[in-house]
């Protein structure tokens, strides 16, 4: 084990810290994490931990959600610049105005939002529980769903609802090319296609499984197929290969062959060095305005109750 990893483990024990990581982070981060999960599992784990410090290796909204759930704990993020293009596609003031224009609607927001957007929300969802939560609402309930348009279209298609959608998107998932994936399928006819619901509708329609990162992992582990085309951020391949070493996972290429467009540059800002520094300096730390946090906690708790 490298000296850096040893130092992280020592600091972690000394400070009673819990290191959590999303599946899209670098392999070396997933290797040292105490807990790896999708955004739902990370929120659930944060709500339960008795650690004094949470180091959230993911993106900013994941750190914020943990802080809202555990206001008495210190929540550190290795790099404050790890944002999320999807969360950024939903400006809190514009969202509040949209909500105000539709006062008879229940407001459902994806967890990939700022605390300020959550404060204007009735129920938060993740890709892992969105369908179940929407289906638990009365059929005639009018719903606003934001910010991910592709996930909203997917939920509308499987539930038969007509939720009013905000027009936001993730710069990684929105760029996968259906032509390239069909080309891969021609080359690997036995491969099953796994698609995250943040991808566009045509990709959802050719998928063998549409689901959150955890749901795609579960499907791949249980399915008989030997090969899988994975249409989501490529960090997930690490855990897929760990869980199913006998299977072949093929990362889907993005539209532009010149860039690493199937990687989330925000997630990749988490490095071992920065995790070590965060533990050592107990910074950067997430702070959420208490008034905003109080309003944002209600819809997060509703999600945890309903899922």
209-228 binders of ligand 13P (CB under 6 A): 212-213
User: At closest approach, how far in Å is the CB of 172 from ligand SF4?
Assistant: 4
Binds ligand 13P (CB under 6 A): choice among 128, 147, 235, 299: 128
Q: Does 231 participate in binding ligand SF4 (rule CB under 6 A)? A: no
Number of C-beta neighbours around residue 31 at 10 A: 15
Q: Does 84 participate in binding ligand SF4 (rule CB under 6 A)? A: yes
Give me the DSSP letters along 173-221.
GGGB-HHHHHHHHHHSTTPEEEE-TTS-HHHHHH-SEE--HHHHHHHHH
Helix H or strand E segment including 144: strand 143-146
199 makes contact, choosing from ligand SF4, ligand 13P, none, with CB < 5 to 8 Å by partner type, with none
Between residues 8 and 69, which has the closer beta carbon with respect to ligand 13P?
A: 69
Phi, psi (5° rounding) for residue 143?
A: -130, 135
Q: Does 170 participate in binding ligand SF4 (rule CB under 6 A)? A: yes
Between residues 156 and 212, which has the closer beta carbon with respect to ligand 13P?
A: 212
**Judged by CB under 6 A, which stretch of 63-71, 123-131, 132-140, 298-306 contacts ligand 13P?**
123-131
Q: Are 131 and 159 in contact (CB under 8 A)?
A: yes
Q: Does 127 participate in binding ligand 13P (rule CB under 6 A)? A: yes
Binds ligand 13P (CB under 6 A): choice among 198, 231, 239, 272: 198
Residue 162 Cα distances to 22, 102, 140, 266, angstroms = 31, 14, 10, 32
Question: Is residue 134 helix, strand or coil?
Answer: helix
């Amino acid at each position: 084990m490298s000296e850096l990893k040893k130092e992280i483990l020592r600091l972690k024990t000394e400070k009673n810290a819990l290191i959590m990581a999303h599946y899209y982070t670098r392999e070396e981060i997933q290797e040292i994490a105490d807990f790896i999960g999708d955004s739902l599992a990370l929120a659930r784990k944060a709500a339960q931990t008795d650690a004094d410090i949470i180091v959230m290796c993911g993106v900013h909204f994941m750190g914020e959600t943990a802080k809202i759930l555990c206001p008495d704990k210190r929540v550190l993020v290795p790099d404050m610049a790890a944002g999320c293009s999807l969360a950024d596609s939903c400006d809190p003031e514009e969202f509040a105005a949209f909500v105000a224009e539709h006062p008879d609607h229940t407001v459902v927001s994806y967890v990939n939002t700022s605390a300020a957007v959550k404060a204007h929300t009735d129920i938060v969802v993740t890709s892992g529980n969105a369908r179940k939560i929407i289906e638990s609402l009365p059929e005639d309930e009018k719903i606003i769903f934001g910010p991910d348009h592709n996930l909203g279209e997917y939920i509308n298609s499987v539930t038969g609802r007509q939720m009013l959608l905000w027009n936001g998107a993730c710069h990684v998932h929105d760029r996968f090319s259906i032509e390239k994936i069909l080309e891969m399928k021609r080359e690997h006819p036995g491969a099953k296609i796994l698609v995250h619901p943040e991808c566009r509708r045509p990709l959802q329609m050719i998928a063998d499984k549409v689901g959150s990162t955890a749901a795609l992992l579960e499907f791949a582990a249980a399915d008989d197929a030997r090969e899988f085309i994975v249409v989501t951020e490529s960090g997930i391949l690490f855990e897929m290969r760990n869980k199913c070493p006998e299977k072949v996972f093929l990362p889907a290429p993005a539209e532009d062959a010149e860039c690493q467009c199937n990687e989330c540059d925000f997630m990749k800002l988490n490095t071992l060095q920065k995790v070590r520094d965060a533990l050592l300096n107990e910074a950067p730390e997430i702070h959420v305005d208490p008034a905003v946090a109080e309003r944002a906690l209600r819809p997060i708790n509703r999600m945890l109750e309903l899922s």
